[in-house]
């Protein structure tokens, strides 16, 4: 008998959810509630630590996302925890060393969101260079007829694109942009078995690139990695695209550089203090903004639901996780 | 060559106009309110016409210029040039192929992504200051979607190559099936439209391809289908397209060209599944300069009795 099949609800394995991850907000809990008993902390009037103390003592698995960080404080209240599943690619909201120390396995979205993330990065890059959103606005305000032709944009082909972080998403970005005739360069924690030129220093990568695309994770090492020095090295014709995390860029400095014309444009899906964004962006037509939606497609979210359930099923039947987070 | 009369039919590129002025006796058609009088006065000195996608050399203009030897178009599309008349009179015609292929293909994919992922709409949403935490919206994934291309010439092939990098299965319609291609051929546009998610128009505009996107094709593409037009406005029956989009019978559209540029049907302005660009397919600094140099190079070659660089007639 498969785990969860034909068992009455009280015998289903328990999964704690502190705050509903986006798939649960969008689809409800049906995709998971048939096979697991969901402990919904957010529905309780009790403060979180009280709730966990009262109800989560024997919980072995937690499903989370960026909205519900797994900190040492939370871990302390989950003495039986053996698995953290996050419905996201990013894992910066999980204290990984602490989980390792306690022997808690961590699973994320593996590769199911990588194609979308890459598509979003490429679409932002094309849009910034070719001014697609700005031109769309121009037409929809009736300005083509009244003001005439739109100013010329910049060709994508032949541009040197520096990818910061050559993991799943970065590699997919590289593969796509090669078809547009871009020259790919990269920086990563470690050199990879690829033919693209490697730069161990992000500043040097920027100096040799016409565009930077951030596809790396957010860690202590990458916080504000893109600072004024890197942006100046990128240069006045340079463009930056960020589908990682907002705080990888020193946002204040980036705004200054855009205002002063020290870089030519930016395509941003993430920001330091979402959903608050610097008001200077509102009037810049060389910037394209999206609301942390790089992986928010119907197709990927269905895949993500399947993967989350798959990881939980594997765990509870003592099988290997489908998408464990490795130390690589 | 400064005595050679060259007529440029509409404003198209400052660099091109400046260079033409340096080398030839340049007449800017738009500076003469009385076109008939202008042509009568100068018809015997004009030996070349420079046109583009907006205006070229139709039968009337060709007949009015008895000394016309060459029409050099600042475009790859030649639907505004009466090629038959030029052939008849031994007038050479050149265009600007290859140099703009990549830019146009890039835009086709850029429009596809922008429509499916609602990029322009998202940008407007964030700019409105209305972004609230937890405000999620799901769009449509681009990777893996079937892409159908009408016309597999230089631009069509370049579009296919890019779409392949997104793992999109490629199918096409062309006047004749191409040998040795791994892409799936459909013998009619309706069949192609029935079997793809994103339909891209990339063929030349001719008598045969006018309104190649009609009601039947739009119905076949359907409420989840997306039309991308980087060809010419008249490829599409525009009123049919507008009503299909307004009524939700077509899933979305990315349009760079229109039947009566610069006029765009206002019913499209409020649709979030529609992305509109003002005929910018080749509109980059780099490419327009290459196109201009090609026009200049062709004219120079002609008047120096050298082989033309990119002749069509």
Query: A301: pLDDT confidence band, cut at 50, 70 and 90?
Result: very high
Please say whether the beta carbons of A118 and B258 come within 8 A: no
Least confident piece of the model among A5-9, A134-138, B177-181, B279-283: A5-9
Percent residues over pLDDT 70 in chain B: 100
C-alpha B145 chain-centroid distance: 24
Please give the Cα distance from A43 to A24 (Å, whole number).
13
Percent residues over pLDDT 70 in chain A: 97
∠ CA A122-A300-B272, rounded to 5° = 65
Query: B48: pLDDT confidence band, cut at 50, 70 and 90?
Result: very high
Element housing B285 (H / E): helix B285-303
| The token pair that represents B130 in the structure block | 């209305």
**In A, residues 42-81, which contact B (CB 8 Å cutoff)?**
67
∠ CA B69-B71-B73, rounded to 5° = 165
Rounded to two decimals, the ipTM of the complex is 0.97
C-alpha A171 chain-centroid distance: 15
Number of cross-chain residue pairs from A and B with Cβ atoms under 8 Å apart: 181
Query: A301 CB near a chain B CB, below 8 Å?
Result: yes
Please give the Cα distance from A31 to A208 (Å, whole number).
47
* CB atoms A291 and B122 under 8 Å: yes
Please give the Cα distance from B145 to B105 (Å, whole number).
17
Please give the Cα distance from A265 to A237 (Å, whole number).
8
Average pLDDT over residues A100-110: 97
Q: Mean pLDDT of all residues in chain B?
A: 97
* CB atoms B134 and A25 under 8 Å: yes
Percent residues over pLDDT 90 in chain A: 96
Please say whether the beta carbons of A109 and A89 come within 8 A: yes
DSSP annotation of A281:
G
* CB atoms A127 and B119 under 8 Å: yes
pLDDT in tens, B229-284: 999 999 999 999 999 999 999 999 999 999 999 999 999 999 999 999 999 999 99
Please give the Cα distance from A282 to A284 (Å, whole number).
6
Residue whose token pair is 């609230």: B132
Beta strand B46-51 pairing with B70-73: parallel
pLDDT at residue A293 is higher than 70: yes
Q: Which residue in B102, B262, B277 is closest to A132 by CB distance?
A: B277
Catalytic residues of B: 232, 261, 279
pLDDT at residue B160 is higher than 70: yes
Q: Minimal Cα distance from A132: which residue of B?
A: B277
pLDDT at residue A279 is higher than 60: yes
Catalytic residues of A: 245, 274, 292
Q: Minimal Cα distance from B269: which residue of A?
A: A140
pLDDT at residue B57 is higher than 60: yes
Query: A9: pLDDT confidence band, cut at 50, 70 and 90?
Result: low
Task: With beta carbons under 8 A apart, name residues in chain A contacting B278.
Answer: 135, 138-139, 144, 149-150
Average pLDDT over residues A90-95: 94
Query: B134: pLDDT confidence band, cut at 50, 70 and 90?
Result: confident
According to the model, what pLDDT value does residue A5 have? 57
Average pLDDT over residues B81-110: 98
pLDDT in tens, B66-90: 999 999 999 999 999 999 999 999 9
According to the model, what pLDDT value does residue B133 have? 80
Average pLDDT over residues A134-147: 97
* CB atoms A123 and B110 under 8 Å: yes
Query: A271 CB near a chain B CB, below 8 Å?
Result: no
pLDDT at residue A91 is higher than 70: yes
Q: Which residue in B114, B127, B165 is closest to A176 by CB distance?
A: B165
pLDDT in tens, A202-218: 999 999 999 999 999 99
According to the model, what pLDDT value does residue B1 have? 77
* CB atoms B165 and A135 under 8 Å: no
Query: A8: pLDDT confidence band, cut at 50, 70 and 90?
Result: low
CA quadruple B221, B227, B231, B233: dihedral sign: positive
Please give the Cα distance from B24 to A36 (Å, whole number).
80
Positions of E strands within A33-82: 37-40, 61-64
According to the model, what pLDDT value does residue A146 have? 96
Percent residues over pLDDT 90 in chain B: 97
According to the model, what pLDDT value does residue B281 have? 98
According to the model, what pLDDT value does residue A6 have? 59
CA quadruple A216, A219, A223, A225: dihedral sign: negative
């Amino acid at each position: 008998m498969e785990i969860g099949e034909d068992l009455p609800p009280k015998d289903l394995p328990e999964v704690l959810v502190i705050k509903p991850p986006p798939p649960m907000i969008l689809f409800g809990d049906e995709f998971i509630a048939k096979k697991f008993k969901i402990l919904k902390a957010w529905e309780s009037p009790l403060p979180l630590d009280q709730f966990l103390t009262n109800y989560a003592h024997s919980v072995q698995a937690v499903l989370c996302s960026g909205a519900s960080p797994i900190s040492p404080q939370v871990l302390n209240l989950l003495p039986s925890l053996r698995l953290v599943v996050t419905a996201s690619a990013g894992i910066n909201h999980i204290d990984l060393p602490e989980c390792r120390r306690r022997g808690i396995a961590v699973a994320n979205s593996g590769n199911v969101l990588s194609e979308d993330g890459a598509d979003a990065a490429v679409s932002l890059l094309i849009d910034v260079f070719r001014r697609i959103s700005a031109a769309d606005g121009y037409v929809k305000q009736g300005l083509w007829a009244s003001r005439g032709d739109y100013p010329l944009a910049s060709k994508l082909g032949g541009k040197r694109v520096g990818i910061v972080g050559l993991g799943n998403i970065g590699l997919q970005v590289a593969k796509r942009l090669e078809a547009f005739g871009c020259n790919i360069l990269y920086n990563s924690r470690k050199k990879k078995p690829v033919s693209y030129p490697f730069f161990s220093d992000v500043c040097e990568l920027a100096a040799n690139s016409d565009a930077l695309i951030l596809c790396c994770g957010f860690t202590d090492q990458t916080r504000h990695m893109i600072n004024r020095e890197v942006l100046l090295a990128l240069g006045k014709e340079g463009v930056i695209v960020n589908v990682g995390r907002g705080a990888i860029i020193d946002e204040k400095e980036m705004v200054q550089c855009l205002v002063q014309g020290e870089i030519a444009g930016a395509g941003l899906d993430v920001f330091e203090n979402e959903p608050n964004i610097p008001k200077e962006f509102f009037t810049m037509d060389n910037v394209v903004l999206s609301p942390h939606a790089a992986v928010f497609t119907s197709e990927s979210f269905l895949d993500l639901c399947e993967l989350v359930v798959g990881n939980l099923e594997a765990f509870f039947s003592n099988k290997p996780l489908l998408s464990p987070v490795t130390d690589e | 060559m400064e005595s050679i009369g060259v007529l440029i039919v509409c404003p198209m590129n400052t660099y091109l106009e400046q260079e033409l002025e340096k080398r030839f006796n340049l007449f800017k058609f738009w500076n003469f309110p009385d076109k008939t009088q202008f042509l009568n006065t100068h018809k015997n000195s004009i030996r070349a016409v420079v046109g583009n996608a907006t205006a070229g050399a139709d039968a009337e203009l060709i007949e009015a210029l008895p000394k016309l030897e060459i029409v050099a178009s600042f475009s790859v599309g030649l639907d505004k040039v009466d090629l038959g008349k030029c052939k008849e009179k031994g007038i050479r015609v050149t265009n600007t192929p290859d140099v703009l292929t990549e830019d146009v293909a890039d835009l086709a994919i850029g429009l596809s992504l922008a429509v499916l992922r609602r990029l322009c709409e998202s940008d407007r949403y964030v700019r409105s200051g209305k972004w609230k935490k937890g405000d999620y919206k799901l769009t449509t994934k681009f990777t893996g979607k079937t892409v159908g291309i009408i016309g597999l010439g230089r631009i069509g092939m370049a579009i296919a190559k890019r779409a392949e990098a997104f793992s999109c299965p490629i199918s096409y319609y062309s006047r004749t099936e191409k040998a040795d291609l791994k892409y799936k051929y459909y013998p009619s546009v309706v069949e192609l439209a029935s079997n793809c998610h994103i339909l891209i128009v990339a063929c030349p505009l001719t008598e045969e391809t006018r309104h190649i996107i009609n009601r039947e094709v739009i119905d076949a593409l359907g409420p989840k289908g997306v039309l991308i037009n980087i060809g010419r406005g008249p490829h599409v029956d525009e009123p049919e397209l507008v009503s299909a989009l307004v009524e939700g019978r077509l899933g979305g559209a990315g349009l760079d060209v229109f039947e009566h540029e610069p006029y765009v049907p206002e019913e499209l302005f409020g649709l979030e599944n529609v992305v509109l660009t003002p005929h910018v397919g080749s509109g980059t600094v780099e490419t327009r300069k290459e196109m201009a140099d090609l026009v200049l190079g062709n004219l120079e070659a002609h008047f120096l009795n050298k082989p033309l660089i990119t002749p069509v007639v």
